[in-house]
């Protein structure tokens, strides 16, 4: 009887953990839905809340898949790496270009709002899941993961600059239809993302199946960003360019997931 009790405890704990993660994912999505509907005076607080909840959901999902050590690795590598890169970037202009935070995003560390490294970590986990779903070879996984993370910034940066959370200096040209963000920013993101993905892919074992919560978070960010920039934020340029660039990863990812679900539902004849 004691053996059966112990054996049942693991699946029950796993089910509860999954339920908690999905609850956090749902809350993260609801907060992001609320953002464009809020008065302008509330949007900064909602922005910070959105990042914090999304971060908690991503870390909880990483913990579900890899345990506490895996979640800690995610925070240390992606959050810590993002903090170091941003601190160096603010101080020196490398590797992103010259920019400055405006002090609207809350407490700062080394000149960087604390919420910013949380944002690096919150999207690094879904980006890794996306890459591992689409590729097997290590180099390809790292490159795709870096692209999955970097192309998200084609939405993030224009939105945050328009909201007044940071500002860019210098004369470097931007992407077509997004002239206010220098191309060096995206190159910097790619460099940092490559390093983060290389380390995460090495320290976190590959999951036997793509994480459904992480997949939901990534695809939600993609489709909601296209809609939000096109309809709510008055940023049609980033809606189009971001939709095309992030879509090079998000769309194949969605198609692959759909095929896997279809194949899994087939009953052998």
Residue 268 binned pLDDT confidence (cut-offs 50, 70, 90): low
List the one residue out of 60, 58, 54, 50 whose CA is nearest residue 20.
60
Residues 6+ apart with CB under 8 A from 128: 141, 145, 197, 200, 201, 204
Mean pLDDT of 172-187: 96
- To the nearest whole number, what is the mean pLDDT of the chain? 93
Q: In this structure, what are the phi and psi dihedrals at residue 180, rounded to the nearest 5 degrees?
A: -80, -10
Q: How confident is the model over 35-51, as pLDDT tens digits?
A: 999 998 999 999 999 99
Q: With 60 as the cut, is the pLDDT of residue 2 above it?
A: no
Q: With 70 as the cut, is the pLDDT of residue 7 above it?
A: no
Q: With 70 as the cut, is the pLDDT of residue 263 above it?
A: yes
Q: How confident is the model over 70-107, as pLDDT tens digits?
A: 999 999 999 999 999 999 999 999 999 999 999 999 99
Q: Residue 3's pLDDT is what?
A: 40
Q: Residue 170's pLDDT is what?
A: 83
CB atoms within 10 A of CB 255: 11
């Amino acid at each position: 009887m004691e053996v059966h009790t112990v054996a049942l405890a693991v699946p029950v704990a796993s089910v509860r953990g999954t339920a908690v993660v999905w609850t956090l994912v749902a809350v993260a999505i609801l907060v992001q839905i609320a953002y464009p509907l809020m008065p302008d005076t509330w949007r900064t607080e909602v922005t910070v809340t959105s990042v914090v909840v999304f971060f908690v959901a991503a870390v909880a999902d990483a913990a579900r898949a890899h345990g506490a050590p895996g979640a800690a690795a995610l925070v240390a590598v992606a959050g810590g790496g993002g903090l170091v890169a941003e601190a160096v970037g603010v101080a020196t202009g490398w590797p992103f270009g010259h920019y400055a935070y405006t002090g609207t995003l809350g407490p700062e560390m080394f000149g960087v709002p604390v919420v910013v490294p949380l944002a690096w970590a919150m999207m690094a986990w879904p980006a890794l899941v996306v890459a591992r779903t689409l590729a097997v070879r290590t180099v390809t996984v790292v490159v795709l993961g870096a692209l999955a993370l970097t192309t998200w910034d084609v939405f993030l940066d224009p939105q945050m600059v328009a909201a007044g959370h940071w500002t860019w200096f210098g004369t470097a040209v931007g992407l077509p239809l997004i002239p206010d963000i220098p191309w060096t920013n995206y190159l910097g993101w790619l460099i940092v993302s490559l390093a983060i993905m290389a380390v995460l892919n090495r320290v976190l074992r590959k999951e036997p199946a793509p994480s459904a919560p992480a997949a939901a978070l990534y695809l939600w960010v993609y489709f909601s960003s296209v809609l939000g920039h096109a309809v709510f934020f008055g940023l049609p340029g980033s809606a189009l360019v971001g939709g095309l660039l992030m879509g090079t990863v998000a769309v194949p990812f969605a198609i692959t997931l759909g095929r896997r679900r279809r194949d899994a539902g087939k009953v052998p004849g």
